[in-house]
């Protein structure tokens, strides 16, 4: 911080909250990024091809993309995707 004249001091300032709010495709794109990062999840799901349903739980936290978080906020008028995202094998 330019105003600081004190040597040896550190100022921690939280990141601003204003960011891109995302759209209905934000969640699907985020899911693909998460599944690329956590490649074992699609592999584990693919290991059970005969299962009628297969599920993976991905947590969106305060550290997640803000555009994704906002899509899950109740009452914000944000629409979740009406079509399924294109996901990796598994």
Integer Cα distance of 19 and 68 in angstroms: 11
From the list 15, 19, 16, 14, the residue with the least C-alpha distance to 71 is 19
Half-sphere exposure of 14 (CA within 13 A, CB side): 5
Per-residue pLDDT of the chain (90 residues; tens, 9 = 90+): 566 666 777 777 766 555 556 677 778 888 888 888 888 988 898 899 899 998 888 888 777 777 787 777 776 666 666 777 777 676
Contact (Cβ atoms closer than 8 angstroms) between residue 28 and residue 85: yes
Q: How many residues does the chain have?
A: 90
Q: Give the residue ranges of DSSP H helices in 18-87.
A: 26-37, 40-46, 66-71
């Amino acid at each position: 911080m330019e105003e600081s004249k004190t040597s040896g001091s550190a100022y921690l300032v939280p990141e601003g909250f204003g960011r891109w709010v995302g759209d209905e495709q934000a969640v699907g794109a985020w899911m693909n990024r998460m599944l690329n990062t956590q490649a074992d999840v699609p592999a584990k799901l693919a290991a059970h091809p005969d299962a009628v349903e297969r599920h993976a739980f991905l947590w969106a936290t305060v550290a997640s993309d803000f555009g994704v978080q906002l899509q899950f906020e109740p009452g914000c008028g944000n629409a979740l995707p009406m079509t399924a995202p294109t996901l990796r094998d598994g």
